[in-house]
Amino acid sequence: MVLVLVKKYPEINDDSLKFRIPNVRSNTIGSQMVCVAGARDSYSKSIVNDKPFSWDPDFLYDDRYDDASKVYQYLCESRKIEKELVDRMIAEHKLYQDDRNNCVFVGYDKNNNPRYALRVGTNPKYKFKGEVKGSDKAFAPSPRYHPKSKSVAVFESVIDALSYESMNSAEGLNTIALSGISSLGLDQYLKENPQTTSIILMLDNDEIGINASKVLASKYSEKGYNVMIHLPRKHKDWNEELVANANGERECFRADKSE
C-alpha cells in the first residue's frame, strides 16, 4: 500500500514526516529497469560517467540577456509564480533569460559548476521546451536548497516546484526538479546530501506521474528513507493548481534593467 496525500497543501517539515511506504514485491517493478508505458521518462540505475563534461560553448551564459522582463512576464503573469521566488532564482544564477527570450533553468554540481540547463519558451502561443546539449539529468535543478535540511520534495519540473512554493511555506524543505520522472537527479541529490531522511514525491497527478511515484516510493523506502506521495488536489500538476487558485489580482513587476 502506498500512502497518497491529497489534502490541501499541508506545510511539510521534518517532524511531520512519519510515514513509511511498505516494500513492494520485486516482481511488481522489476529488478533492472522500469519503463512506464508512454512515460515522460524512464528509470534506470545511475551510470557513472567519467568522461569530461563540457557545455556547448555557443550556449550557456554566452547568450544571457541583460533584461529578464520576458521571464518575469511569463512566470509571474502567465504561470502565477510569486515574483520573490523568481527574484531568488535569478540572484542564485539558477534562472536567466536568453537572447531569444527563453527561460533557462540551470542545475549545478556540488562544486557549483553548471551541469544541466533547460530552455522553456516564454511565448504562450508557441510552447517550447528543450534541454541544452550536454546536459546531465543527474544534476537536477534545485529551486530551494538548505545544506542542513533533512527533507526533499521532488517535482517533475522547476515550474511545478516554484508553483508549490508560491502556495505554501517551504521553509526548511529542499526542492529538486527531475525534468521528467527519471530518478537520476534524486539519486545524485541523495548522494551529495547524506543527511536526508525524508522524501516527498510530488509528481503529476496523472497515470504516468502516479505510477512513477509508486515505483520511486518502493525504491527509496527499501533504502530506508521515509517516503510520502503528495499529489495535486484537483489538477494534473502543481502549476495548474496554482493558476486555478489565482485570483488574477496579484502584482508581478517586471525586471527593471537599471537594477
Mean pLDDT: which of 62-66, 116-120, 131-135 is highest? 116-120
Looking at the predicted structure, is the pLDDT value of residue 45 above 70? Answer: no
Q: How far apart are CA 65 and CA 28, in angstroms?
A: 48
Is residue 14 packed enough to be buried (19+ CB in 10 Å), middle (13-18) or exposed (0-12)?
Answer: middle
Tell me: the pLDDT tens digits for 142-158? Answer: 999 998 999 999 999 99
User: What confidence score (pLDDT) does residue 49 get?
Assistant: 40
Looking at the predicted structure, is the pLDDT value of residue 71 above 70? Answer: yes
User: What confidence score (pLDDT) does residue 247 get?
Assistant: 53
Cα→Cα distances 209→18, 22, 53, 61, Å: 23, 19, 30, 32
User: What confidence score (pLDDT) does residue 61 get?
Assistant: 54
Looking at the predicted structure, is the pLDDT value of residue 173 above 50? Answer: yes
Q: What are the two backbone dihedrals, phi and then psi, of residue 161, each rounded to the nearest 5 degrees?
A: -60, -45
Mean pLDDT lowest among 22-36, 75-89, 98-112, 186-200:
22-36
Strand-strand pairing, 198-201 and 226-230: parallel
pLDDT band at 230 (very low <50, low <70, confident <90, very high): very high
The set of cell numbers assigned to 134 is 550536454
67-90 average pLDDT score: 94
Tell me: the pLDDT tens digits for 175-227? Answer: 999 999 999 999 999 999 999 999 999 999 999 999 999 999 999 999 999 99
Tell me: the pLDDT tens digits for 232-249? Answer: 988 999 999 999 988 543
pLDDT band at 252 (very low <50, low <70, confident <90, very high): very low
